[in-house]
Amino acid sequence: MSTLRGWWRDYFYDHPALKLANKADRTPGYAYGDKAKCWCMRCFDLQLSAQKLEDTAAVEEGRLDGVRSDEAIKQSMWQLERGKTWLGGKLELLIGHLRKCSLWPEEVRAKAEAAAKDKATTRAAKHDQPDSDGSTSPHSPLPYPNSPSPLKCARTASSIPTFTQSWSATDQLEFESHIAAITASAGFPVSWVNNIEVRRFFERYIPHAHLPAHKTLTTHIIPVAVYGAPSAL
């Protein structure tokens, strides 16, 4: 871990242009404000997989001549509009994202939560320092900014349905979000949900759940998880 960068940067990709020592050679738009763009590693990898599958589907349907290279897809992802998962490299935004991103293990989110609280405490302490006249200013600690999360946080174990409970539409939506998170976290190809043994496992042990096909995962579930809307393809 670098001594010049916070631990949280180990969970983000920097914009490729940062590798160029000469700023004049860097791609226009590599930064947002005075900070270079960053992308959560697991959000980025998940979206890359989804884009490749969308390209494959488009080729099969005659809407695309060929699947783009990984490099071409990555370049297009860095050019997405603000809010499409890349972040300006400010501490508050990066920590805020890690606090909520369920693609990372609980220990990472907890570490980010602790860092956010420490930062808020430090700010409050500085604010409480006496002014030149010896007085202090009352304050209320500002909430730590949160960036959009690609996936909703999982429910507590006590609320997870069992075989004796009914399976609601809400349960199905949360189940699908977890499938997207598992796909990204484990590095599975999106087609893993079509594997016959995987489907037999779910039918045996989670019979209430409907395991989505890989096309649904690619064109609907992952885009909704990442962008908040299904794919236009």
The domain locations on the chain are: 7-127, 157-227
pTM, entire model: 0.58
Is 233's pLDDT higher than 70? Answer: no
Model confidence over 22-41: pLDDT tens digits?
Answer: 777 777 778 877 788 889 99
Model confidence over 9-22: pLDDT tens digits?
Answer: 899 998 888 777 77
Give the rounded distance of the alpha carbon of 109 from its chain centre: 12
